[in-house]
Amino acid sequence: MDSVFVNILDNLGTFAFAMSGTLTALHRRFDYFGALVIAFVTATGGGTLRDLLTDAGPVFWTEATHYFYYIFAGYLIAVLFQSSLHRLSNTMFLFDTIGISIFTIIGMEKTLNLGFSPLIALNMGVMSAVVGGVIRDVLTHVPPLIFRREIYAIPCYIGGMVYWMMGWTSIPLELNILVTIILIILIRLIAIKRHWSISPHKDLDDDAV
Amino acid sequence: MDSVFVNILDNLGTFAFAMSGTLTALHRRFDYFGALVIAFVTATGGGTLRDLLTDAGPVFWTEATHYFYYIFAGYLIAVLFQSSLHRLSNTMFLFDTIGISIFTIIGMEKTLNLGFSPLIALNMGVMSAVVGGVIRDVLTHVPPLIFRREIYAIPCYIGGMVYWMMGWTSIPLELNILVTIILIILIRLIAIKRHWSISPHKDLDDDAV
Amino acid sequence: MDSVFVNILDNLGTFAFAMSGTLTALHRRFDYFGALVIAFVTATGGGTLRDLLTDAGPVFWTEATHYFYYIFAGYLIAVLFQSSLHRLSNTMFLFDTIGISIFTIIGMEKTLNLGFSPLIALNMGVMSAVVGGVIRDVLTHVPPLIFRREIYAIPCYIGGMVYWMMGWTSIPLELNILVTIILIILIRLIAIKRHWSISPHKDLDDDAV
């Protein structure tokens, strides 16, 4: 997983998560320092929990400080262009979905490399993708919304399974990743357009992501 | 602690915690996927924290996938029989108390086996028993109720101390466990019946468990 | 970092955090047991997270039970003198600031000793100082206030940087620590007096610490 392609997507995902964390925090009336903290935990929270649960040693960002730069860049751009970014919600959605896709894949690979079973790897992958957002919601005192709409984690599970099965074939890694990301984006998009939901509560607000 | 008896109770506790997590989540308007996540963290959260704090290696459920099946069973039964289960609140109470009893004992044994002192082992045992419920409450955006009523964790402390002292005698393990569980159930029952409380706030609602 | 001076300050900080946790919990209508739990997580939460993230082995308090005594002392005094302590808010503020100062320094030293970079050590130091309060706020169901007012963590960052740079000189350790603590206290005091804020939201309440 040391390919340039994976690294670019990983950085893009980190950047996107930092932006989303910053925007949420400022919207919830955090100050600029608090928003930076939320940017950090949104971007790193999932991978941190994965590293703790799998006993992978010191968590990944303690030995790879480039994450700090991408988080700070995402934070800075979110602070400077707050109002414009609200109009770019489609771009933000795309970035965020690329983020959860690539985090799912990287999380799966890291967990498989440590010798865990594919079932654990799949769960760790999805966890790395979505837990940052859950911590963001708990710290900003919002009921974690992902649990109320299936369209966030389920595409990651489907994508992760497809990625894992395609890994058995001779498809090149980059193509496999690309197909997985496009698949996850498509499922999320269709689910939103068609108002797919597995909630028994039909009268929930539909405006939050 | 590899006895069949302990394993059966461990599985029963996991099953009961998964049911309670699912019911709470659905009641708090989570969707079916969110409820499954809450079932999982309710059942495994305490033991996971214990494994992290004691540096026990990868957390227990990453290498024992049978927990997934018991959690899924508890989840499924809670989803299918939601309304009936509310009428079975005595049974649910019994299952839940067996759960915290056995989790206290297993948590103590695991911690003692790693070489920690009995004081640490007792705290880790009670923590394994009650922290799943705390995480459930934080994620479902409920003020963690266990901190407002002593009758949840204190019976575990008493039971844990009695279990530890009986371990010095020649009482067989199974009997020791059985006595501890019955003791914890009795203390909880009596505390509820008599409205025992160590809260300085006398006007709290009394209807939540 | 085994000097008597550091140990005294460490214990004083632990004691002060346990008091603040207890007072917050009782104010939020927790019972006496719940307040003891909050005292414990407020005093140990930051260092616990640091030990987990840096993979430092079993967390510090599992092998140093004297922390339990200082926490219990702080808890007891807070329970007994609740009403008087509200009048001693200046003393409480001083204790709390000594607490975050010394926890920042100890956290930095522990992290540097494990071989991490100064950037990581600084962040781990500040994290050890402030995360206990964040967990306290999440568990007592208060929006974590530190994120809305910069005057809590930023003095720790400045103090930590000054401490680190003075470590290169021939200044004795005790003097370095004393200067750092006084610096952090002064920055906090001046920031409060002058209503320094980096929040974009100017109408926030100003009465919470």
List of chain A residues whose C-beta atoms are within 8 Å of the C-beta of residue B28: 143
By C-alpha distance, which of B77, B92, B105, B103 is closest to B163? Answer: B105
Q: Are C25 and B147 an interchain contact pair (Cβ–Cβ within 8 Å)?
A: yes
Sort residue C49 into left (φ over 0), alpha (ψ -120 to 50) or beta: alpha
List of chain A residues whose C-beta atoms are within 8 Å of the C-beta of residue B29: 148, 199, 201, 204
- Between C95 and B178, residue with greater pLDDT: B178
- pLDDT band (50, 70, 90) for residue B151: confident
List of chain B residues whose C-beta atoms are within 8 Å of the C-beta of residue C52: 52-53
Q: For residue A12, count other CB atoms closer than 10 A to its CB.
A: 16
Q: Is residue A74 part of a domain?
A: yes
Question: Cα-Cα-Cα-Cα dihedral of C155, C55, A146, A140, to 10°?
Answer: -10
Range with the poorest average pLDDT among B143-152, C12-21, C31-40, C135-144: B143-152
- Between C189 and B68, residue with greater pLDDT: B68
Inform me whether the C-beta atom of residue B39 falls under 8 Å from chain A C-beta atoms.
no
- pLDDT band (50, 70, 90) for residue A144: low
What pLDDT was estimated at residue C35? Answer: 92
Inform me whether the C-beta atom of residue A69 falls under 8 Å from chain C C-beta atoms.
no
Q: Are B32 and A198 an interchain contact pair (Cβ–Cβ within 8 Å)?
A: yes
- pLDDT band (50, 70, 90) for residue C179: very high
Say if residue A208's pLDDT is above 50: no
What pLDDT was estimated at residue B30? Answer: 86
Which residue of chain A has the CA closest to B53? Answer: A52
Tell whether ipTM is more than 0.90: no
Say if residue A58's pLDDT is above 90: yes
Q: Is residue A201 part of a domain?
A: no
Say if residue A93's pLDDT is above 50: yes
What pLDDT was estimated at residue B93? Answer: 78
Residues B187-199: what's their mean pLDDT?
81
Nearest CB partner across the interface for B53, out of C26, C62, C141: C62
Q: Is residue C198 part of a domain?
A: no
Domain count for chain C, please give it. 1
Inform me whether the C-beta atom of residue C68 falls under 8 Å from chain B C-beta atoms.
yes
- pLDDT band (50, 70, 90) for residue B63: confident
Do B108 and B83 touch, CB atoms closer than 8 A?
no
Q: Is residue A114 part of a domain?
A: yes
Say if residue C209's pLDDT is above 60: no
Q: Is residue C206 part of a domain?
A: no
User: Domain range for residue A59?
Assistant: 4-193
Range with the poorest average pLDDT among B161-165, C117-121, C187-191: C187-191
How high is the mean pLDDT of chain B?
Answer: 86
- pLDDT band (50, 70, 90) for residue A191: confident
Inform me whether the C-beta atom of residue B89 falls under 8 Å from chain C C-beta atoms.
no
What pLDDT was estimated at residue B140? Answer: 81
Residues A135-146: what's their mean pLDDT?
76
Q: Is residue B205 part of a domain?
A: no
Say if residue A151's pLDDT is above 90: no
Say if residue C178's pLDDT is above 80: yes
Q: Are B147 and C30 an interchain contact pair (Cβ–Cβ within 8 Å)?
A: yes
Q: What is the percent of chain C where pLDDT is above 70?
A: 91
d(CA B136, CA B117): 29
What pLDDT was estimated at residue B143? Answer: 67
Residues, chain C: 209
Instruction: Kindly state the tokens that stand for A151.
Output: 């369209």
- For A58, list phi and psi in degrees, rounded to 5: -55, 140
- Between A152 and A166, residue with greater pLDDT: A166
Q: Is residue A208 part of a domain?
A: no
d(CA B125, CA B145): 19
Q: Are A120 and B62 an interchain contact pair (Cβ–Cβ within 8 Å)?
A: yes
List of chain B residues whose C-beta atoms are within 8 Å of the C-beta of residue C59: 53, 55
Burial of C207: CB neighbours in 10 Å, binned 0-12, 13-18, 19+: exposed
Inform me whether the C-beta atom of residue C201 falls under 8 Å from chain A C-beta atoms.
yes
**Partner chains of C (3+ C-beta pairs under 8 Å):** A, B
Q: What is the percent of chain A where pLDDT is above 90?
A: 51
d(CA C71, CA C36): 8
Nearest CB partner across the interface for C147, out of A31, A57, A58: A31
Say if residue C149's pLDDT is above 80: no
Say if residue A209's pLDDT is above 50: no
Give the 3-state DSSP-derived string for chain B, with helices as H, strands as E and coil as C: CCCHHHHHHHHHHHHHHHHHHHHHHHHCCCCHHHHHHHHHHHHHHHHHHHHHHCCCCCCHHHHCCHHHHHHHHHHHHHHHCHHHHHHCHHHHHHHHHHHHHHHHHHHHHHHHHCCCCHHHHHHHHHHHHHHHHHHHHHHCCCCCHHHHCCCCCHHHHHHHHHHHHHCCCCCCHHHHHHHHHHHHHHHHHHHHHCCCCCCCCCCCCCCCC
d(CA C165, CA C174): 15
Say if residue B120's pLDDT is above 50: yes
What pLDDT was estimated at residue B161? Answer: 96
Do C104 and C156 touch, CB atoms closer than 8 A?
yes
Rank B8-17, B67-76, C140-149, C187-196 by mean pLDDT and report only the highest: B67-76
Q: Are B134 and C139 an interchain contact pair (Cβ–Cβ within 8 Å)?
A: yes
Q: What is the percent of chain A where pLDDT is above 70?
A: 91
Q: Tell me the per-residue pLDDT of A161-190, one tens digit each, with 9 for 90 and over.
A: 999 999 889 899 889 999 999 999 899 888
What pLDDT was estimated at residue C208? Answer: 40
Say if residue B14's pLDDT is above 70: yes
- Between B20 and B145, residue with greater pLDDT: B20
Do C19 and C84 touch, CB atoms closer than 8 A?
no
Q: Tell me the per-residue pLDDT of A2-21, one tens digit each, with 9 for 90 and over.
A: 678 888 888 988 998 999 89
Nearest CB partner across the interface for C62, out of B120, B134, B201: B120
Nearest CB partner across the interface for C29, out of B52, B148, B150: B148
Nearest CB partner across the interface for C149, out of A26, A31, A62: A31
Inform me whether the C-beta atom of residue B209 falls under 8 Å from chain C C-beta atoms.
no
d(CA B128, CA B120): 12
Q: Is residue C200 part of a domain?
A: no
Residue A115 CB partners (closer than 8 Å, separation 6+): none
What pLDDT was estimated at residue A92? Answer: 74
Please name the amino acid found at residue A42. Answer: T
Do A131 and A163 touch, CB atoms closer than 8 A?
no
**Partner chains of A (3+ C-beta pairs under 8 Å):** B, C
Q: Are A29 and C149 an interchain contact pair (Cβ–Cβ within 8 Å)?
A: no
